[in-house]
Structures are given as structure tokens and as C-alpha cells.
Amino acid sequence: MVTGIDVHIYNVKDFERALKFYRALLGCEPKTHFPGTWAEFELADGSAFAIGKHEDFPWQPGYTVLFAVPDVTKAIELVRSLGGKAGERKESPVCFMSFGEDTEGNQIVLHHRNV
């Protein structure tokens, strides 16, 4: 029986480039780090996000992860400054968001609930 999700993982093409991007975006150092191959970050809410370079698995873009941010506009600026892509801020009845990509081409959404 599944009781939760332990970690979301993105496979990356350039490990060092992705590590630099996620250190800045997540605002923390990895809790577990195997140079060149694996970095796992523990987020403030207790969830985990990791990047890995797996030679046994060819790179393909990861499924979308919605990253909770306090300010979508500031997060857009940060992602763009780090070499990622971030679309304009959109508003729905329950949230603000920006659709984009990390430096590796994985889809990300910068997300802030407004309810």
C-alpha cells in the first residue's frame, strides 16, 4: 500500500549545471550528494526533490513538478537569471503560476496558492 511519495526525481543531462540551478532555486544545499551523479534536497515541508545523472537511463524530460513559491514574479526572475525558462505569471481562481523549464529541459511550474 502506498502511503506517500518519498522523492520526486529528475534525470539531468549536465549534472553540475542542474545542481547549480536547483541549489539557487530551492535555496538550500542537498541533504545527500554523490558528486556527478545524485543530489537530494529536503524541502521545508519535509518533501524531497532529487536530480540524478543515470548512465543506464537515456535522458528524457521529466514530468511536471509544481514548486511552491511565496512570490511567483520573483521566482520567474530567478529561474530566468539561472538559465531556465519561465513563462509569464498566470492567475487562476485558486493560484498564481508560471510554466517553464529547468536548465535541462524538464518541465517546472512555479506555483503559489491564493486560497
CATH at 79: 3.10.180.10
Specify the pairing of strand 48-52 against strand 65-68. unpaired
pLDDT of residue 2: 61
Mean pLDDT across the chain: 92
pTM of the model: 0.85
- Sequence-distant (6+) residues with CB within 8 A of 93 are none
| Beta carbons within 10 angstroms of residue 8's beta carbon | 13
Contact 107, 60 (CB under 8 A): no
Domain count, the chain: 1
Residue 1 forms part of a structural domain: no
Model confidence over 76-105: pLDDT tens digits?
Answer: 999 999 999 999 999 999 999 999 999 999
Cα gap 62→14, rounded to integer Å: 14
Residue 84 forms part of a structural domain: yes
Residue 58 forms part of a structural domain: yes
Question: Residue 73's domain spans which residues?
Answer: 8-113
